[in-house]
Amino acid sequence: MAESKLTGDVFYPPEEIIRHAHARDWGTMAAAAEKDLEGFWAKEANELHWFEHWEKVLDESKKPFYQWFVGGKTNIAYNCLDRHTATARRNKLALMWEGEKGEFRSFSYFALRREVCRFANILRSLGVQKGDRVTIYMGRIPELPIAMLACARIGAIHSVVYGGFTVEALAERIDDSQSKVLITCDGAYQRGKVVPLKQIADEALQRAATVESVLVVRRTGEPVNMEQGRDMWYHELMALPIAGNSCHIETMDAEDPLFLLYTSGTTGKPKAILHTHGGYMVGTYTTLKYVFDIHDADRYWCAADPGWITGHSYIVYGPLLNGATSFMYEGAPTYPYPNRWWSMIEKYGINILYTAPTAIRGLMRFGEAWPNRYDLSSLRLLGSVGEPINPEAWKWYHRVIGKGKCPIMDTWWQTETGMFMITPFPSVPLKPGSGTRPFPGVKMDIYNEEGKPVGIDEEGFLVITTPWPAMMRTIYKDPERYVNQYWSKYPGAYLTGDSAKRDVDGYFWVIGRVDDVLKVSGYRLGTAEIESALVSHPAVAEAAAIGLPHEVKGNAIHAYVILKTGIEKHDRLEEELRNHVAHEMGPIAKPETIQFVDSLPKTRSGKIMRRVLKARALGQEPKDLSTLEE
Ligand code: PRX
């Protein structure tokens, strides 16, 4: 493609960025991957350590249950830590952390490995074995990645639950995964306040009965209830002789599970997305290396939460696999003032910043004077993820934060994909709002209802038409749902749930979800979960939740509620219901407004027609009402 003749608003990368890049020529790399997909991924996999080499790169015989690096033996935690401690990188910083109150902690590769080994020994001594599930529910503190890596080291499957979720969301995830161990902390700091995680966990454990041991990291020092025989302090366990500095590493098959991560689907309960040691490792390693152009001297900051896929792949696993220095910050971007992020970039000399459009829009509101007071010249690359970035936010980010010289990597991907799928490289021309093209070796398309590719600039269903190493393997305990949800609409193609367009230059423009999944401040929530939280309140008979555009959050939740007969609406009821959702699911799921109604638009088969509610709320004519009941 003649990149000099691109249409629209185009930003060309500076020469020095291209010169610095691992991949200077996207086209050659994409062509090589197109010609030999297995060879392309095998070359990357060979840069990592395998206890035993694979026999086959890709096995498609049981598709859509694809298998990668079949017969290969490895362990992702070995590749994150031991591979580096065996080299001069052992003294390099693996993790740098700043607490919301300003404390600083750091771990060299050597130190991080030691902590992980000690904690892995503790888990083993509690009887955790290969294949057991361990739930992790914490704030953004270093013990969270330590716990994840310790699980990986001994072959346990971690299930991290975002610290912003609350009672029912946590209980449901513990119960579904049948975890025997819960790792949590006394509390987490958020905007100067303490979120009582242990107290929330105690309440959740009354609803989920499988947990035998609770390990508690002391973060805030606030008093918490410790149940005898069940609850133990992390620091006390880590001081025991059994927490030795070395720990036998489990040999994992490439296809052995690494983690479960629950994410919202179209209906019902959240789904446990399952990722593996081998393919996920190769996918996250490769994508981060090329897209954020990781070099040894870099200080890289992904400002997501480790409790979501972005944090799993690109705070913890991807950076450590690349031997990078990953920076993690505990608190809110604007606490105590809107200078917080910019001051940390200056203080730590951050080179790469990866965040979400909602955070950029939130910081934009405070004006340029805040970032302009800081020296942000260490920045080389910027990134965006989680929802489409509006061109206004893109340009502000590019001009004010990147000073016009830092390309923005707008990466489209999902919990299910494990790794970046549509993404620029530092060397490619950018268009604000487009993630450019699929990663080399990844083929994507946009289909109409009948499964035919749509024309240029036409909207359709975004699909993936090649397997990729970091792809989810299944929904834990529910392979049928995996097939139905992702692979049944179009044979041979993975359905993303997003709609998109492609322009004349082949650039993809993702528009948004086409199902009942909402992106609120970049967080993925299902309308079904919000509705079930509302219905669990004794006053509510039925509920419907929709997302309406919001300047900072992207979407805000609005709910419609039918009260049970005999319940009188009173002044405080709306507030009570909003708080009830926050208590059951988490503050991120709290509806902006609740409207009390007598009926909800439904199809003849009884499904709520949320699009009708949405159209009405936006003052539009709802399209196609042929299935409406009345
Ligand atoms: O709708 C897309 C949106 O986020 C969804 C996936 O959400 P989740 O599994 O929580 O993972 C988020 C982080 C990888 C997608 O289906 N999305 C993610 N990145 C982008 C995006 N939409 C537009 N542009 C993006 N860069």
SS (H, E, C) 408-444: EEECECCCCCCCCCECCCCCCCECCCCCECECCCCCE
The amino acid occupying position 487 is W
Q: For a substitution probing ligand 1, which of 162, 315, 414 has the most ligand atoms within 8 Å of its CB?
A: 414
Pick left, alpha or beta for residue 441 (phi over 0 → left; psi -120 to 50 → alpha; otherwise beta).
left
DSSP 628: B
Report how far apart, in Å, the C-alpha atoms of 564 and of each of 11, 534, 576 are: 56, 12, 15
Centre of ligand 1 to C-alpha 526, Å, is: 14
Q: For a substitution probing ligand 1, which of 288, 397, 498 has the most ligand atoms within 8 Å of its CB?
A: 498
Q: Which of 131, 309, 121 is nearest to 215 (CA)?
A: 121
Contact 95, 139 (CB under 8 A): no
Report CA 171 to chain centroid distance, whole Å. 20
Centre of ligand 1 to C-alpha 411, Å, is: 8
- Alpha-carbon span 271 to 580, nearest angstrom: 23
Nearest atom, ligand 1, residue 513 CA = 1
Centre of ligand 1 to C-alpha 118, Å, is: 35
Report CA 389 to chain centroid distance, whole Å. 16
Contact 328, 303 (CB under 8 A): no
67-70/73-74 β-pairing: unpaired
DSSP string, 300-328: EEE-S-TTSHHHIIIIIIHHHHTTPEEEE
Neighbour tally for 341: CB within 10 Å:
24
Tokens of 357: 């459009």
Nearest atom, ligand 1, residue 435 CA = 26
- Alpha-carbon span 334 to 178, nearest angstrom: 37
What residues contact residue 394 under an 8 Å CB cut-off, 6+ apart?
A: 384, 408, 410, 432, 433
Q: Pocket residues for ligand 1 (CB within 6 Å)?
A: 263, 308-310, 384-388, 410-415, 435, 496-498, 510, 512-513, 519, 524
- Alpha-carbon span 181 to 158, nearest angstrom: 10
Centre of ligand 1 to C-alpha 519, Å, is: 8
- Quickly tell me which residue has 């991560």 as its tokens: 261
Q: For a substitution probing ligand 1, which of 524, 529, 553, 555 has the most ligand atoms within 8 Å of its CB?
A: 524
Centre of ligand 1 to C-alpha 387, Å, is: 5
The amino acid occupying position 355 is T
pLDDT at 222: 96
What residues contact residue 47 under an 8 Å CB cut-off, 6+ apart?
A: 285
Tokens of 131: 């294949």
Centre of ligand 1 to C-alpha 500, Å, is: 12
pLDDT at 234: 98
- Alpha-carbon span 227 to 229, nearest angstrom: 6
| 264-293 pLDDT, tens digit each | 987 778 999 999 999 999 999 999 999 999
- Alpha-carbon span 119 to 149, nearest angstrom: 9
Q: Which of 138, 488, 504, 461 is nearest to 311 (CA)?
A: 138
DSSP string, 495-541: EEEEEEEE-TTS-EEEEEE-SSEEEETTEEEEHHHHHHHHHTSTTEE
- Alpha-carbon span 147 to 595, nearest angstrom: 42
Q: For a substitution probing ligand 1, which of 510, 513, 553 has the most ligand atoms within 8 Å of its CB?
A: 510
Q: Is 107 helix (H, G, I), strand (E, B) or coil?
A: strand
pLDDT at 3: 53
- Alpha-carbon span 45 to 36, nearest angstrom: 14
Residue whose CA is closest, atom 6 of ligand 1?
414
- Alpha-carbon span 470 to 279, nearest angstrom: 5
Tokens of 520: 């609120």
Residue whose CA is closest, atom 18 of ligand 1?
386
pLDDT at 625: 79
Contact 335, 343 (CB under 8 A): no
Nearest atom, ligand 1, residue 384 CA = 26
| 410-451 pLDDT, tens digit each | 999 999 999 999 999 999 999 999 999 999 999 999 999 999
Centre of ligand 1 to C-alpha 242, Å, is: 42
Contact 95, 142 (CB under 8 A): yes
Q: Is 267 helix (H, G, I), strand (E, B) or coil?
A: coil
What residues contact residue 297 under an 8 Å CB cut-off, 6+ apart?
A: 351
**What's the whole-model pTM score?**
0.97
- Alpha-carbon span 134 to 138, nearest angstrom: 13
Mean pLDDT by 10 residues, the chain (630 residues): 76 96 94 98 98 98 98 98 97 98 98 98 98 98 98 98 97 97 97 97 97 98 97 98 96 98 87 98 98 97 97 98 98 96 98 98 97 98 97 98 98 98 98 98 98 98 98 97 97 97 98 94 94 97 96 97 94 96 96 96 91 94 78
The amino acid occupying position 290 is Y
Residue whose CA is closest, atom 13 of ligand 1?
386
Centre of ligand 1 to C-alpha 386, Å, is: 4
Centre of ligand 1 to C-alpha 465, Å, is: 18
245-260 in b/e form (b: 16+ CB < 10 A) is eebebbebbbbbbbbb
